[in-house]
Structure 1
Amino acid sequence: MKNVTDSFISLGYWPSAESFGFNTDILATNPINLSVVLGVLIFFGKGVLSDLLDNRKHRILKTIQNSEELREGAIEQLEKAQSRLRKVEMEADQFRVNGYSEIEREKENLINSTSKSLEQLENYKNETIRFEQQRAINQVRQQVFQQALQGALGTLNSCLDNELHLRNISANIGMFGTMKEITN
């Protein structure tokens, strides 16, 4: 250490008018220069290095803190999204169930209305059949009556002579006359 202090003291005695040159004494110049440079670096650089490391530490901590906040926010958003997904799935299931229920109701309504329509058509068919049967029966009766009447007229015409025919007409006119008097 004594050499280092002696070196500093001897620096003050160098004449400034001398020329610049190389000192070939390695033991005298290198350790002194290195010790001075290291001393200055340690003395002045300690605060700068400490500040740099503190700034770096603060930035890393802030980045970690921001990452944690972002992670928490992402977890929160994920939970919200999962909650919304569950809600949407429940609504979709409800729509599906309601849709199936609605389809079943529509199916039952369609079956019921078709059944009623078929029943009405069956009733109309039966009424039409009865009507046509009655009409056919009436036509047959009318034809039978006409044939019977024609047969009776034919029998009467063949059996009646003019005198019997005139008596029958007179009797009928008499009956009409009495009927007329009763109604008046």
Structure 2
Amino acid sequence: MKNVTDSFVSLGHWPSAGSFGFNTDILATNLINLSVVLGVLIFFGKGVLRDLLDNRKQRILNTIRNSEELRGGAIEQLEKTRARLRKVEMEADQFRVNGYSEIEREKLNLINSTYKTLEQLENYKNETINFEQQRAINQVRQRVFQQALQGALGTLNSCLNNELHLRTISANIGMFGAMKEITD
């Protein structure tokens, strides 16, 4: 524990910029503390993350199913529209002499509106999927960050006692004072 405190105190006594060196003292570099914190985060965060991802996966799958149902409805509508188109074509044969060009125009408008509807539904499905995926990623990121922060704060609070806390504050004040003297 003395090495950890000494490493904080020695931060204020580093040589000025331009020099470079390696600190080979494993206790002063906090590698053990970092590995313990990462191990705890991985051990406890894995289940929560898996549950979050499974829930998000189910929501995305439900959204995809809903989109597929909408697509099925659109295909059904397309079939109805095609049946109507066949009917219009039969009427066009009957009225070819009197109004062939107007019926053709109606047929093209009907086909174009159907394809536009299908494109809109397909775009809506893709946008919904992308939105849900992005939202899931953002929620997982926030959850992992919160858990990591809580774990780190818990570890830090459990390791610090009043004496070490006061020595750390004093060392940091000394370091800031030394930095201020260098900048002045």
Please say whether Structure 1 and Structure 2 have the same fold, judged by a TM-score greater than 0.5.
no
Larger radius of gyration: 1
Q: TM-score, normalised by structure 2?
A: 0.37
**RCO (CA 8 Å, sep 6+): is it higher in 1 or 2?**
2
TM-score normalised to structure 1 length: 0.37
